[in-house]
Structure 1
Amino acid sequence: MAGYIEDRWFKKGPDGKRSIPTDRHGQGKRYKVAGIPGVRARSFPDKQLTAAKAWLAQAQTTSARGEFIDPRDGNILLREYVDQYWWPSRTGDPATLETVSRRVRNQILPFLGSSPLRQIKVDTLRQWLKDLEGVISPGTAVTAWGYLNNILDCAVDDERILKNPCRARTIKAPTKPPSKARAWTRERVAAVQAALPLQYRILVDIGAGAGLRHGEALGLSEDDIDFEGGVIHVRRQVRSVAGKLVFSLPKGNKTRTVPMSDYLAARLAEHAAVFPSVTVTLPWKDPRPPTTKVEAKERAPQTHRLLVSNSNASAVRANMWNENYWKRALAAAGVIPEARKVPRKTGTGNRPVYEAAHEHGFHCLRHTYASVQLDSRENPVAVSKWLGHADASITLKVYGHFLPEADGRGRQAMDAWFSNSPDSAPSSPDAPQNLGAITGNSDSLPGEGTALPDSEVAETASELQEEAA
């Protein structure tokens, strides 16, 4: 098998023994392991011949299998690996990349950035998760864990480390506590809307009446509203990328069409009559100067007649609007506490500071729209399409609890089905009613001509017990 150990301090004499000192005798490391295809040579100090032999054997074996990973490649610090290798290879939506960068540099690198890749072990991750407790929310911890997992997966693929400690069986990844989307009452929606400036009240109608996200409502153009067809075309959103506003496709890069109620159509017409649309030009998707013809074409500015704009005839910046108008309206409606007064850094009086209100964001209007649609027994597939979800399973997962009396209607259906069975009454007080009726009558199962075999009955009973447990 290829590979050898070279003694750089002694060479063989006439008798074949290593007894003649070389020119390098006593300088540097004594033993050099080399000659293995695809493996860089490695040196070992004096008195570590045993370690050199072990390294040679392991390198020969793993190299022959094509699985050799040089542990020296894992000496690179996590911060250096992220900056030099992982981050430069990231591609995708600029705003998403901005979020990823912020998460990695705020929640991962301050804790683990100074650790070599090969020294990040399971116990290191346990301590990191403990350090994050109380610093960030569980949901943010889940996101940070996902990014670290991806970084270490890439390090494995780049042959920097042998395995990813995030995938160890003994460590428990952070989980986001279960939460339900909360819809607002009609009274709360009206109270918050009334506390907003007149030119922004239409945003509440758009959110609660059509389920648009905040950025989509801010990017809605007069040309997107089809009064004759009774629909709204959701074609873009306004978002911030690197501190600059841009137009981009809605979330998921999907446009959609939403039915428009007569009430919403009337409110939109009233708003347009009082606050004429403003023509706004913004870059498309990425505000950075293009470096190629393809980028120049993709980022070419677009101009749209926005339904809602700032007093200076520009697009509305969502985060500033939330702080200056939305939270103020929430406080006026009694949804969150009144603002605290904090001295301005410039010394020119005080500024209002409101508590965090993530659970009372503009998205609550979208939840309200979904709740009204589902409560009216609208088809979940249609609601999913109007909300812009990838498929109906997402809609049901997020908003399934808005479906009205789902369990009540199910019980009524089962009662009606059993009441129509000629053998619905048990043969004795101790006889099992439901399972006995199913297995004892060939007509008990809709669409089935024969009773269940004993093996399937046992399997069905077992599944019921597991589900109940």
Structure 2
Amino acid sequence: MAGYIEDRWYKKGPDGKRTIPTDRCNQGKRYRVAGVPGVKDRSFDKLTGADGAKAWLAKAQHESSRGEFIDPRDGKLLLRDYVVEHWWPNQNYRDPITRATVRGKVWNHILVHLGAKPLNGIKTPQLRVWLKTLNAQLGPGTVNDVWGALSAILQAAVDDERITKNYCRSQKTVRPPARPEPRAEAWSRERVLQVRDAIDERARLAVDLGVGAGLRQGEVFGLALEDVDFDAMVIHVQRQVKKVGSKLIFALPKGRKTRSVPVPPHLLRQVRDHLARWPATAVTLPWGDPADGETEKEIKERAPRTFNLLLTAVRGGAWRREYFNDTVWKPALEAAGLIAPPEVLKRPIAGKPGRFRTVKRYAEDREMGFHSLRHTFASVQLDARESVVSVSKWLGHADPSITLRIYAHMMPEADGRGRTAMQNWFEGGMKKISPVAPQVPAVRIPAPSEVLDADPSEAQSNAAAAH
């Protein structure tokens, strides 16, 4: 088998024994393992033992013959160096916001704690300490995301044959917290009207679109006049306004999925009334990514596009989410008595000594976010017994299972209707049983979809008809 051990201190004399010193005698490590295909030479102080040259040669020969050899020296590369030089340059995120989000998690929560450790030094003890630190600083959802990012990095290092094992994937004793199940809360009609009455008139249509068509906030800001089909009573959701760094862009809706939502005449009247007072405004923004394209394809895809937006800021540009929330949405919630007044702070103005600006900071409250209007739209549709498939399509979810996971608790009387159907089945069956000649009635059992979709009174009449 290929491979040999060289004694770098002594060479053989006439008697065949290694007694003649070489020029390197007593300098550096004595034994060098060489000649193994695909394995770099390596020197050792000792010839025998678990960490000696012979053990290494046997291991290298065995793993090399099977094509599984990984040099431990490759795993001594620091995690920070591996990420910066090898992993991150090869990540290809189409969405610039996703790219920025992942980069922030890696640099702020992984490299800051583990960046100085070698790849092969990130094992169970190190993960346990790191996870404890994260749990003390971040919510369970974010911790779960950061753990997943580290796992992806270590798995890439395994695939690059720098380490033999990804300890994030093989853990049984150290695991990130489970991601909390999303539970949407809908608003009552009274609350929606409270906020709508309190909000600035110019932005009132945003409330109507959120609750009447289930649009996300960025989709509301990106809705154009040409997206509203008044004759078909449909709104086409084809873009959103997103912020990348400090710049705004147009982009496809979340999940890169466009959709069409049927809307009631009332919402279309609200759109007409809004346009009568504030006509649609042409707004031009880059598409997909504000950065200059590096290829002809990227330059073409990112070229600015113009749309006649229904809702714009006072100066005519597209709304910025944080500015809308701080100056329009949250003040309306405060005026409606739904949130507490903000904390008022004085902050120095950069470059202007002795000058300060007033900043209002509202407490965070997810139940009072703009997204609650979308939840309300979903709850109204499900309460009206619209199919989950249709509601999922209108919301732009990738799959109806996502809609069920988020909104299943909003589906009305699911257990009550099933209970009623089962009771009718039993009662109908009992009438067919004779004391003299008991028989099992031939009753057609309703399919689950029939039980869910049928009205209790209909179920009763159907049961009677079956008998």
Q: What TM-score does the superposition give when structure 1 sets the normalisation length?
A: 0.89
Q: Could you say which residue in structure 1 is the equivalent of 2:123?
A: 121
Give the one of 336, 341, 356 matched to 1:338: 341
Shift of 1:324: 2.5
How much does 1:149 deviate? 1.1
Secondary structure of 1:315's counterpart equals coil
Equivalent pairs counted in the alignment come to 437
Are 1:323 and 2:326 counterparts? yes
Asked whether the 8 Å contact 1:233–1:258 carries over to 2, the reply is yes
Instruction: Tell me, yes or no, if structure 1 residue 149 matches structure 2 residue 151.
Output: yes
CA distance in 1, matches of 2:9, 2:440: 92
Opposite residue 409 of structure 2, the aligned amino acid is H
Paired position in structure 2 for 1:454 = none
Rate the CA distance shift 1:328–1:413 in 2: closer, same or farther, 3 A: same
Identify the residue that residue 159 of structure 1 maps to in structure 2.
161
CA distance 1:447–1:349, shift in 2 (3 Å): closer
TM-aligned CA deviation for residue 333 of structure 1: 2.4
List gaps (5 residues or longer) in structure 2: 350-354, 448-467
- Residue 232 (structure 1) aligns with: 235
What are the residue-to-residue correspondences of 1:3-402 with 2, within 5 Å? 3-45=3-45, 51-92=52-93, 93-168=95-170, 169-346=172-349, 347-402=355-410
Q: How many angstroms does 1:339 deviate by?
A: 0.4
Residues 232 and 259 of structure 1 are in contact (CA less than 8 Å); yes or no, is this contact kept in structure 2? yes
Q: Matches of 1:409 and 1:24 in 2, distance apart?
A: 89
| 3-state SS, counterpart of residue 164 of structure 1 | coil
1:417 aligns with 2:406: no
CA–CA separation in structure 2 for the residues paired with 1:410 and 1:134: 45
Letter in 2 for 1:103: K
Give the whole-Å Cα distance in 2 for the aligned partners of 1:358 and 1:145: 24
Aligned-partner Cα distance in 2 for 1:17–1:355:
82
Q: 1:59 to 1:271 in 2, by over 3 A?
A: same
Q: What secondary structure does 1:133 align onto? A: helix
2:273 and 2:366 map into 1 onto residues whose CA distance is 31
Contact 2:348 2:357 in 1 (8 A): no
**Is the alpha carbon distance of 1:359 and 1:10 closer, same or farther for their aligned partners in structure 2, counting shifts above 3 Å?**
farther
Distance (Å, rounded) in 2 between the aligned partners of 1:335 and 1:240: 28
The CA distance in 1 between the partners of 2:103 and 2:371, in whole Å, is 24
User: Contact 1:234/1:255 (CA < 8 Å) preserved in 2?
Assistant: yes
Q: Given that residues 375 and 402 in structure 1 are in contact (C-alpha distance below 8 angstroms), is that contact kept between their aligned partners in structure 2?
A: yes
Which region of structure 1 is more displaced relative to structure 2, 176-185 or 289-298?
A: 176-185
What is the identity, as a one-letter code, of the residue corresponding to 1:61? H
Question: SS at 2:348's partner residue?
Answer: coil
Over 3 Å counting, the alpha-carbon distance change for 1:145 and 1:423 in structure 2 is farther
Q: What's the CA shift string for 1:382-441, capped at 9, x where partnerless?
A: 1111001112111111111111100000011111111122489899xxxxxxxxx9xx94
Distance 2:339 2:45 in 1: 67
CA contact (8 A) 2:397 2:403 kept: yes
Give the CA deviation at 1:195: 2.6
In the alignment, is the contact (CA less than 8 A) between 2:48 and 2:55 conserved in 1? Answer: no
Does the 8 Å CA contact 1:156/1:163 hold for their aligned counterparts?
Answer: yes
The answer for unaligned runs of 5 or more in structure 1 is: 428-436, 449-469
- What code does the residue aligned with 1:166 have? C
Task: State which drifts further: 167-176 or 107-116.
Answer: 167-176
Decide whether aligned partners of structure 1 residues 447 and 207 sit closer, same or farther in structure 2, where only a CA change above 3 A counts: closer
How far apart are 1:325 and its partner, in Å? Answer: 2.2
> Is the contact made by 1:279 and 1:306 (CA closer than 8 Å) also made in structure 2?
yes
* Distance in 1 of aligned mates of 2:297 and 2:434: 75
User: In structure 1, what is the Cα distance between the partners aligned to 2:48 and 2:85?
Assistant: 34
1:216 deviates by: 0.6
Q: 1:418, 1:424 within 8 Å by CA — same for their partners in 2? A: no
Output the CA distance in 1 between the equivalents of 2:334 and 2:17: 89
Partner of 1:455: none
Partner of 2:452: none
C-alpha distance in 1 between matches for 2:294 and 2:175: 44
Matched to 1:252, the amino acid is G
Structure 2 vs 1, CA of residues 146 and 442 (structure 1 numbering), >3 Å: closer, same or farther?
Answer: farther
Percentage of matched positions with identical amino acids: 52
Q: What's the offset of the Cα at 1:48?
A: 6.3
Distance 1:413 1:426, change over 3 A: farther
**CA contact 1:423–1:441 (8 Å) conserved in 2:** no
Cα–Cα, structure 1 residues 446 and 46, in superposed 2: closer, same or farther, change >3 Å? Answer: closer
- 2:284 touches 2:307 (CA, 8 Å); kept in 1? yes
Alignment root-mean-square deviation, CA: 2.1
